[in-house]
Amino acid sequence: MKKLITIFSIFVTFSGFAQQKPQYTQYIFNQYLLNPALSGIENYVDFKAGYRKQWSGITDAPQTSFVSAHWALGDKELWSNALTSFPEQTGNPMDRNYTQNYTSSPSHHGMGVTAVLDKTGPIKRLDANVTYAYHLQLNNDFNLSAGVAAGISSISLDLNALTFDTQIDPILNRALINQVKPDLSLGLWLYGARLFAGLSVQQILPQKLSFSGDENYNLGKEVPHYFATAGYKFYVDEDVAAIPSVMVKYVSPAPVSFDLNLKLAFKDKVWLGGSYRKDDSFAAMAGFNIGKMVNLTYSYDFTTSQLKQVSSGSHEIVLGLMLNNIYKVPSYIRIW
């Protein structure tokens, strides 16, 4: 009984005072996971699948798997302007010539889907959402999109992963093994050839969250997660671009979290980058394109918090596919 009560108490603390959604290092390559306003930002199907193993060396540390896909609605050749659609003969979206002659995309709709499975110890969470966004063409240089994600969260407790003082514990009869909650997120995204900025909030709907049928432990709740990000592309020379960016995250009542990122893009072939998360970690990132369809990225987090005494760091790998890429875009346009 003491063991289960301890688990309940830990989860109540987790629910009230820590991040409840998974943490990512490579969100700079897939902002769509944090902001539904990016739905349909490309004129092809943007598919990604990823896996993150956090705090290697710690038993039952968080492990996250995800798949996501989004696409524009309407005519498959919605981007008829060559400067926006990138027919193969016009070059690639990473070079300076493109940004100097950029034309914003026409107003359009987009949609997508996400599925995220996160497991920490005996607790497992599956989030599944459908997303929608409308992209407004402000002028020839910028678009502003607004998006929404709606779905469900299934949160479960694996009693088989727990041990107890007695073989049959009365509190098990009152344990809530699985809970399904509605989920809702909103976002805004401003983007052009070099600049991007976004605001989003996940887990908007207030929900009680506890695995105990005992009112003494029924104190957990879901809390909103707020994100603000911005970045800008600078050219070191014709083929090398540097993209610094910042992410600010707030999950009440935890302290505000700050990420500083820098990515170097070499033509449309290779990316190298680094990230610093205040009071948590440094990260190194690398990625490359394979032809006109596939890209692969990897990151490793070097823990700087007190967890570094028991953790060797965190690994994250993401596979990306550009499906129905009718214009043969050589790399993701909107990762800047």
Half-sphere exposure of residue 292: CA atoms within 13 angstroms, side-chain side: 14
Q: What is the dihedral of CA 165, 168, 169, 170, to 10 degrees?
A: -160
So where are the chain's domains? 2-323
Please say if the pLDDT value at position 168 is more than 80: no
Highest mean pLDDT among 30-34, 90-94, 263-267, 309-313: 30-34
Is residue 211 within 8 A of residue 8, CB to CB? The reply is: yes
Please say if the pLDDT value at position 84 is more than 50: no
Give the integer Cα–Cα distance in Å for 72 and 29.
18
Cα radius of gyration rounded to whole Å, the chain: 21
pLDDT digits (tens, 9 = 90+) for 234-292: 888 877 889 999 999 998 888 899 999 999 988 767 889 999 988 778 899 999 888 77
Find the mean pLDDT for residues 111-140.
92
Confidence band of 5 (pLDDT split at 50, 70, 90): very low
Read off the pTM.
0.83
pLDDT digits (tens, 9 = 90+) for 89-118: 455 555 666 666 678 888 999 999 999 999
Find the mean pLDDT for residues 29-53.
92
Q: What DSSP assignment string belongs to 85-139?
A: H--GGG--TTSHHHHHT--PPPSEEEEEEEEEEEEETTEEEEEEEEEEEEEEE-S
- The lowest-confidence range among 21-30, 97-106, 290-299 is 97-106
What lies within 8 Å, CB to CB, of 204 at 6+ separation is 184, 185, 186, 224
What lies within 8 Å, CB to CB, of 237 at 6+ separation is none
Domain 2-323 has what CATH class? mainly beta
Give the integer Cα–Cα distance in Å for 186 and 37.
8
